[in-house]
Amino acid sequence: MKTAVSQRPSLILAQPDAIALPADFDPDLTLRGGQAFRWTVEPDSNGQTAYRGVVEDMTLLVAPAAGQWQARLLNHPPTPPRLARLRDYFDLDRDYAAARQALLERVERVAPLARLSGEIERARGLRILRQPWFETLVAFVISANNHLPRIRQIINVISLKFGQPLGSGDYAFPTPEALAAVAPATLRGECRVGYRDRYLCQLAQRIARERLAWEQAATRPTLELRQALQTLPGVGPKVAECVLLFGFHRWEAFPIDVWVRRAMTGALVAPAPDGRPPADRQIAAAAAARFGPLAGLAQQYLFEIARRHKPKADNASAGDNRSSPRPRA
DNA sequence: CACCAGGACGGCG
DNA sequence: CGCCGTCATGGT
């Protein structure tokens, strides 16, 4: 019980409008990788590299402060419910060190995978975000046969044209109803979605019409949810797994793309006798058997490690990639 | 200027 | 079932 009242606010208090991210948080792997598409790299007010993004109706700035990465709300008062949603978004209540350790114990006996343990340790700052499922669904329908930079661009144009302004110069991702009202020709002509225009329009219309059922989907078993997702236009096996993992936080989901297929072939699954890569069904079975409930995390490590091995000059702002302002390792 | 990209879809054997 | 051509678009 303190009786004296400080005349001045304590300097030790954390900034009330921000949440501190884990010490090893890696914004490039987590925010600019293959799971989130609404984060841009830009210098903050101090001229240091920062990451600006939109989560639901919140504009966020992830920047180094007080020796670590912090996520600051730019367009709303930092009420406890909002801060709680941010903790949820960054999955801060999960023990990634324990999850990673459990994963390493599962793979260290498999020689072709054991050599990955060092790579996984270097990618330890990767986290799996808990993103809004409708935005995730649309993003990965667009992802089919597409490149990451272009997926980001299309998602941002869709938000800019059809989303609600957030008072910060940024726009929320549109609701299913708002997107369902957009003509396919507009999606193709103005958002450059190509042949996916009809998929997206029908998708938004169905979600809007079946909204109640889909909002209860988060409580359904993964198997049932997976089957339901694959009835949606533009949603096949791979997109369904991505939505399960990034939009419904099902860590047993295991999306198989070209990178993961290459990583798994020969390491965990033998190629076919004729030399062709094994069927995706066999890869999925091997992943479930080896990685179990951590398959999604394993997949994300495999994807980002494989992608890191081939940089491909993903960055538009050429100049300072060496001065990654890792706030005091 | 071919080739590729976090594939899905429809048709065919 | 499994295989195969096709589907826009823009970067390399």
- For position A276, what pLDDT does the model report? 80
pLDDT tier, A73 (very low <50, low <70, confident <90, very high otherwise): very high
Domain-embedded: residue A119: yes
- Average pLDDT of every residue of chain A: 90
Report the pLDDT averaged over residues A286-293: 96
Is residue A320 pLDDT above 50, yes or no? no
- Secondary element (H or E) of residue A59: strand A58-65
Mean pLDDT of A218-246: 98
Whether A133 shows a pLDDT value over 50: the answer reads yes
- Considering the domain architecture, whether residues A179 and A161 belong to the same structural domain is answered as yes
Indicate if the pLDDT at residue A8 is higher than 90.
Answer: no
Domain that holds residue A40: 18-91
pLDDT of residue A99: 98
Distance A62 CA to B4 C1' (A): 32
Radius of gyration for the alpha carbons in chain A, expressed in angstroms and rounded: 21
> Does any domain span residue A303?
yes
Q: Are residues A119 and A31 in the same domain?
A: no
| Class of residue A328 by CB neighbours under 10 A (exposed 0-12, middle 13-18, buried 19+) | exposed
Dihedral sign for Cα A39, A42, A43, A44, please: negative
Q: Per-residue DSSP letters for A234-253? A: T--HHHHHHIIIIIS--TT-
pLDDT of A295 higher than 80: yes
Residues A178, A280, single domain; the answer is no
The rounded distance, in Å, linking the Cα atoms of A168 and A73 is 11
A321 pLDDT higher than 60? no
Domain stops at, among A91, A110, A142? A91
Contact criterion met (CB below 8 Å) for A60 and A86: yes
* CA neighbor of A249 nearest in space, from A94, A59, A39: A94
Domain presence at residue A23: yes
Whether A326 is in a domain gets the answer: no
In terms of Cβ atoms closer than 10 Å to its own Cβ (0-12, 13-18, 19+), residue A311 is: exposed
Q: How many domains does chain A have?
A: 3
Nucleotide C8: nearest residue by CA–C1'? A194
Q: Which nucleotide is nearest to A154 (CA to C1')?
A: C9
Distance between CA A248 and CA A246 in Å, rounded? 6
Residues with CB under 7 A from strand C: A 145-147, 149-150, 188, 192, 194-195, 279, 281, 312-314
Asked if A217 and A243 sit in the same domain, the reply is yes
Asked if the structure places residue A35 within a domain, the reply is yes
Alpha-carbon distance of A250 to A217, in angstroms, equals 12
User: What confidence tier does A115 reach under pLDDT thresholds 50, 70, 90?
Assistant: confident
Distance separating alpha carbons of residues A188 and A69, to the nearest angstrom:
38
